[in-house]
Amino acid sequence: MGKFFLIVLCLTSLSQSAFAHDPYTDPADETALAPHCLKWLENFESLIGKSPSFSSLRDSSKIDAPLFYAAKGVPKGARLRTVGAGEIFRQYVKDRSALQAILQSSELRAGNRPYFEGGGQSIFVYNDLTGIFITSPEVSWDFVGVDSSLFVDFTLPPGTKLLNIRDGIMLLPGPPSNASWLMAEYEKWKKDPSTVDKVAVNQMKKMDQEGVLIPRYQKIHIVAHSPIKTEAN
């Protein structure tokens, strides 16, 4: 049986900048997606029930490399659902500093990569599936393809919309956060456009037009978590 992998949200050491938080939910109604997330949800609704299409991304010069496929659509069996009252979810995090950041903010932050699944020589990258990835407490850390068993358990406001990708793997759909290196380039460009490679200028302009808001986040109510003290303690 093939193993499924998930790019789970793991907090990275993003620089503290002046960019505003960008919530996934509407501040006036915490069960409703914010306007900038609605297009993601509407896109998923149009894709559910349809077979995804795939195109190969393999470099033909690297015969022994895994065969990557760009997937357009969502995996078969994916469905939208609504969070019930008292329903508990889990997110695994990469280290204790990431865990501590979640505990201090009561926020989950969107990652900067899409969902992928597969194993061995075939890996399928679902570029449409971005946002905040979560799972259930009964799902083990190795099933979702992370290298750490550190976790935080939490509830979401009843009525929150989720994409159930497959059993135990769920997504709060929405735009990803920008990678920290891209944010650093953007800050350089804002201060002095001549310091950024000309190839990247269009990307910087696009980010400027869309509004660079980092991190993109979802507020949660924490109910349990791994110990945060270090081994030395």
Least confident of 66-75, 87-96, 201-210: 201-210
Distance CA(48)–CA(75), nearest Å, equals 8
* Cα torsion through 165, 169, 173, 177, rounded to 10: -130
Locate 134 and state its tokens.
Answer: 């979560």
C-alpha atoms less than 13 angstroms from C-alpha of 207 in its C-beta half-sphere = 21
Predicted model pTM? 0.74
Distance CA(57)–CA(2), nearest Å, equals 20
Of 45, 52, 23, the residue nearest 35 (C-alpha): 23
Distance CA(80)–CA(16), nearest Å, equals 34
Strand pairing class (115-119; 122-126): antiparallel
- Per-residue confidence (pLDDT) for residue 65, from 0 to 100: 64
Answer whether residue 164 is part of any domain.
yes
In the chain the first and final C-alpha atoms are separated, in Å, by 40
C-alpha atoms less than 13 angstroms from C-alpha of 22 in its C-beta half-sphere = 21
State the total domains in the chain.
1
Answer whether residue 90 is part of any domain.
yes
Rounded mean pLDDT, 203-217: 68
Q: Which residues make beta-bridge pairs with 56?
A: 69
Q: How far is CA 18 from the centre of its chain?
A: 22
Answer whether residue 4 is part of any domain.
no
Answer whether residue 150 is part of any domain.
yes
Taking 90 as the threshold, does the pLDDT of residue 111 lie above it? no
Rounded mean pLDDT, 152-175: 88
Q: Which residues contact 45 (CB under 8 A, 6 or more apart)?
A: 80
- Per-residue confidence (pLDDT) for residue 211, from 0 to 100: 62
Is the bond leading into 23 cis (omega within 30 degrees of zero)? Answer: no
Annotate 63-85 with b (16+ C-beta within 10 A) or e (fewer): eeeeebbebebbbeebeeeebee
Containing domain of residue 128, as a range? 22-225
Distance CA(75)–CA(7), nearest Å, equals 15
- Per-residue confidence (pLDDT) for residue 178, from 0 to 100: 74
Taking 60 as the threshold, does the pLDDT of residue 119 lie above it? yes
Of 230, 232, 216, the residue nearest 95 (C-alpha): 230
**154, 220 Cβ separation under 8 angstroms:** yes
Give pLDDT tens digits for 24-60: 777 667 666 676 677 777 777 788 888 888 887 655 5
- Per-residue confidence (pLDDT) for residue 226, from 0 to 100: 94
Answer whether residue 45 is part of any domain.
yes
Rounded percentage of the chain residues whose pLDDT exceeds 70: 76
**33, 27 Cβ separation under 8 angstroms:** no
- Per-residue confidence (pLDDT) for residue 70, from 0 to 100: 86
**32-36, 110-114, 156-160: which is most confident:** 156-160
Locate 48 and state its tokens.
Answer: 């559910």
Give pLDDT tens digits for 78-97: 988 889 999 999 999 888 88
The H-or-E segment that residue 185 falls in is helix 180-191
Answer whether residue 14 is part of any domain.
no
Answer whether residue 1 is part of any domain.
no
Answer whether residue 16 is part of any domain.
no
The pLDDT-based confidence of 184 (bands split at 50, 70, 90) is confident
